[in-house]
Chain A
Amino acid sequence: MTETAFDGTDMTGAGRTPRGAVRRQLRRRGAVTIGLLAAVLAVPLLPLDPLSVDPFARGLPPAFAFPFGTDLLGRDVLARTLAALAVSAQVGLAAAAVSTAIALAFAVAATFSQTADRIVGVLTELALGLPHFVLVLMVAYAAGGGMTGVILGVALTHWPRLSRVLRHEAQTVAAADYVRISRALGRSRGWIARHHMVPHLLPQLVAGFVLIFPHAILHEAGLSFIGLGIEPHLPSIGIMLADSLRGLMAGHWWVALFPGLGLVLLALAFEMFGETLRRAADPREGVA
């Protein structure tokens, strides 16, 4: 869609402002992150076998046949790392999606009445006041562990910050002069919701979703590491790192380094993408 100015001039090529730099960074980081995510999610389609055990290839260092080496049971660390990242990505996406939905639901509910706002406020403060990881642990344990436990544990504990941001944003917009002016200019509530509310909330929502994702995969690894996460037979970064302790004692650095690096890279990509999204969402950013 090309945008034209009020006098008919074409506005294509607008944005050669400092904002252009933010937008370029957004495109670059977005492409890297989404590409990485797609690649990781496509891993189960590859003919890899992360579960098979080769008794004649136990504890091998990285070499041509096994680029990331093998663990003490003779399993391919490359195949396991990739499969584990795929599991992490699935858990991360599901948990971030549920968490974002909860945050949005609470933020919208808070705008209905003052009582609703107070209830949401108390719930938010309560969830923020409890130690974060303990709560994740409790929920994951109560939900019976496993993938569902991890997803619920992360989803039910990561909504408050985003919810608070969205609630504040919604209230700020609702009280702004420009909303009153739009109403005086004859615009309906629906129009104001579409043209003022959604454009302010959507970028925060997307940035929130992207920023919850790395938390989710790190928590998945943490829970799996202490045995409350993914079922032990499935490859998971947390389980691999827990298993790697024995390997490390034998000097097998590769069993810890590669899965750890994979996890850090995936989390970092999302963290950086989320940060750029947040900057791009701020209309004052880059315009000093």
Chain B
Amino acid sequence: MLKARAITHAFGAVSVLDEVDFDLSPGEIIGLAGPSGAGKSTLGRILAGHLLPNAGRVEIDGAPLMLRAGLPCPVQYAPQTSEMSVDPRWRVNRILRNGATPDPESLRILGIQPEWASRFPAELSGGELTRVSLARMVLPSTRYLVCDEITAPLDALSAEDTLWALRRLAGRGVGILLISHNQNLLKRHVKRRYQLCFGHPRLQVD
């Protein structure tokens, strides 16, 4: 169980999150919606250990979450895929081995094609690159995945494909937090949804 308790965070004088509690179970997909600037990404980054909150704690099975060199974090944060989310100098083959040798089953679920191996990120389509970027994070040690607007730059079909791949990953026990503006997408794929509203830095069950 991934638990966040009383997460409070501010950027300067702007309070973004105030005493936010959050739970995510293995194999569950939770949606997180809200307008731009409401703190969705901030919460996602805190949950994955990329950002330390001003106050509050993140626990995984009762132990505090922390990033350690030499050990992949059990919570991985996938940003919106862009030029900067994968090293543009690396070929797909190397990107997939970013953390460790990738799990063949995850590669199959995400539809990674062997012929992409020698390509550079600029030689993949947006949907292909999104799935490659996700595949390197789905290691056997990965228990939770925070997907921050990963379908935003994709066309409807690619977005749908990616969502179905995520659902299959959830079926294998990976807990997924899906951050998205797209309410329809969330409604179709997610049972439990949270909402962050601007000016009300608390989570609301939708």
Residue from B48, B79, B117 with most neighbouring chain A CB atoms (10 Å): B117
Given A6-B97, A181-B137, A186:B69 Cβ within 8 A: yes
Q: Does B62 contact A (CB under 8 A)?
A: no
Q: Are B118 and A14 in touch, CB under 8 angstroms?
A: yes
Q: Does A180 contact B (CB under 8 A)?
A: yes
Residue from B49, B87, B120, B137 with most neighbouring chain A CB atoms (10 Å): B87
Smallest CB-CB separation from B45: which chain A residue?
A180
By size class, the interface of chain B is 35 or more
Q: Does B72 contact A (CB under 8 A)?
A: yes
Q: Are A186 and B102 in touch, CB under 8 angstroms?
A: no
Q: Are A184 and B49 in touch, CB under 8 angstroms?
A: yes
Q: Are A5 and B117 in touch, CB under 8 angstroms?
A: yes
Q: Does A178 contact B (CB under 8 A)?
A: yes
Q: Are A177 and B93 in touch, CB under 8 angstroms?
A: no
Q: How far is the CB of A286 from chain B (nearest CB, A)?
A: 10
Q: Are B93 and A287 in touch, CB under 8 angstroms?
A: no
Q: Does B12 contact A (CB under 8 A)?
A: no
Q: Does A148 contact B (CB under 8 A)?
A: no
Smallest CB-CB separation from B133: which chain A residue?
A181
- A52 / chain B contacts, CB cutoff of 8 Å: none
Q: Are A184 and B120 in touch, CB under 8 angstroms?
A: no
**Pick the contact of A11 from B72, B93, B99, B101 — CB < 8 Å?**
B93
Q: How far is the CB of A13 from chain B (nearest CB, A)?
A: 8
Smallest CB-CB separation from A18: which chain B residue?
B123
Given A5-B114, A6-B117, A283:B89 Cβ within 8 A: yes
Contact code string B100-123 (vs A, CB < 8 Å = 1, else 0): 111000010000001001101111
Q: Does A233 contact B (CB under 8 A)?
A: no
Q: Does B130 contact A (CB under 8 A)?
A: no
Q: Are B117 and A7 in touch, CB under 8 angstroms?
A: yes
- A196 / chain B contacts, CB cutoff of 8 Å: 87
Given A176-B84, A181-B98, A9:B114 Cβ within 8 A: yes
Given A9-B114, A11-B93, A188:B122 Cβ within 8 A: no
Q: Are A180 and B50 in touch, CB under 8 angstroms?
A: yes
Q: Are A185 and B72 in touch, CB under 8 angstroms?
A: yes
Q: Are A185 and B122 in touch, CB under 8 angstroms?
A: no
Smallest CB-CB separation from B117: which chain A residue?
A5
- B102 / chain A contacts, CB cutoff of 8 Å: 6
A186 CA to B99 CA, complexed, in Å? 7
**Pick the contact of A200 from B76, B89, B137 — CB < 8 Å?**
B89
- B91 / chain A contacts, CB cutoff of 8 Å: 11, 14
Contact code string B49-92 (vs A, CB < 8 Å = 1, else 0): 11000000000000000011111110011010010111111010
B residues in contact (CB < 8 Å) with A? 48-50, 67-73, 76-77, 79, 82, 84-89, 91, 93, 96-102, 107, 114, 117-118, 120-123, 136-137, 139
14 extra interface residue pairs, beta carbon distance < 8 Å, beyond A176-B84, A183-B69: A3-B118, A5-B118, A6-B101, A7-B114, A14-B118, A176-B87, A181-B76, A181-B77, A181-B137, A185-B73, A186-B73, A200-B89, A283-B89, A283-B122
Selected A-B contacts with CB under 8 Å, 12 pairs: A5-B118, A6-B96, A6-B97, A6-B107, A176-B84, A177-B82, A177-B84, A178-B85, A181-B137, A184-B48, A186-B73, A200-B89
Closest 10 A/B residue pairs (Cβ): A185-B99, A5-B117, A14-B118, A186-B72, A188-B69, A177-B85, A11-B118, A283-B88, A7-B114, A176-B84
